[in-house]
Amino acid sequence: MTIVISLGGSIVAPQEGPSGLFLYDFRNVLLSWLNREDHKVIIVVGGGYAARQWQKAYKEMIEIDKSTRGDGGPILGTDVDVRQSLDRIGIAATRLNAQLIKEVFSDYSRDPIVTDPSADITMNSRILIAAGWKPGFSTDYDAVILAERFHAEKILNLSNVSQIYSADPKVDPNAKPLLHISFDSLLQMIGTEWDPGANVPFDPIAAAKARELGITVIFASGKNLMNFADILNDKPFIGTIID
């Protein structure tokens, strides 16, 4: 049995920086599940806080440039060029975070970090670590591609939020946590286009692909490790099922 974990970068490296204690506890929970011989896991690591902050700085620079030269000019290029630059910055952050997770599980993960999920990949150890691929594709999308390749039926999307809400709770006081949501309803809520650095529960392009493949996504908190263990062991849990 193989599962895919889309591990939010904000879990690995939050604003205050990575926590050795969290990494230690996360390792122990996952290795407990891997004790069964037929269990394997693919961890796709996001960019999180570092990606958003570095992207924010670049966008601020773009705005200053536009106000100075009128339209952004030929040096910084078109909006498409800027989006690709933002993606490249985010990808670099995912690869730093992935290297940290790779070292945490170095005794269980001998394969190189996957940076192209479309390549001819083999899984020679119990844990495979992956990071960002190329502009236009999120780590959520990478997780879906790897789930398809290695015949995983579900993806665990671990975020810094425990559940998906019916609306943004910061804006709508009547927003309610959802136990279940369809991909169609999720896409109506978050839109259908990928936006580098967007803070959405699951990348809409990845959601559409998971819907096409019939892959279930479980959205839950990555900080609540007891809850994470419950999900791994098919026990009742706090989160949102997307299918």
Centre a 10 Å sphere on the Cβ of residue 95 and count the other Cβ atoms it contains.
Answer: 17
User: What span, in angstroms and rounded, lies between the C-alpha atoms of 10 and 113?
Assistant: 19
The pLDDT assigned to 42 comes to: 98
- pLDDT single digits (tens) 177-216: 999 999 999 999 888 787 765 677 888 999 999 999 999 9
Helix (H) or strand (E) holding 20: helix 20-33
The pLDDT assigned to 8 comes to: 92
- pLDDT single digits (tens) 10-69: 999 888 989 999 999 999 999 999 988 789 999 999 998 888 899 999 989 888 877 777
Residue 75 has pLDDT above 80, yes or no: no
Mean pLDDT of the chain, nearest integer: 90
Composition of the chain by helix, strand, coil, percent to 5 = 45, 15, 40
Residue carrying the six token digits 């910084």: 76
Answer with the residue of higher pLDDT: 218 or 70.
Answer: 218
* Model confidence, pTM: 0.91
The pLDDT assigned to 92 comes to: 95
For domain 2-242, say whether CATH 1.10.3720.10 is its number: no
Is the CB of residue 90 less than 8 Å from the CB of residue 132? Answer: yes
Residue spans of the domains in the chain: they are 2-242
Most confident of 69-73, 80-84, 185-189: 185-189
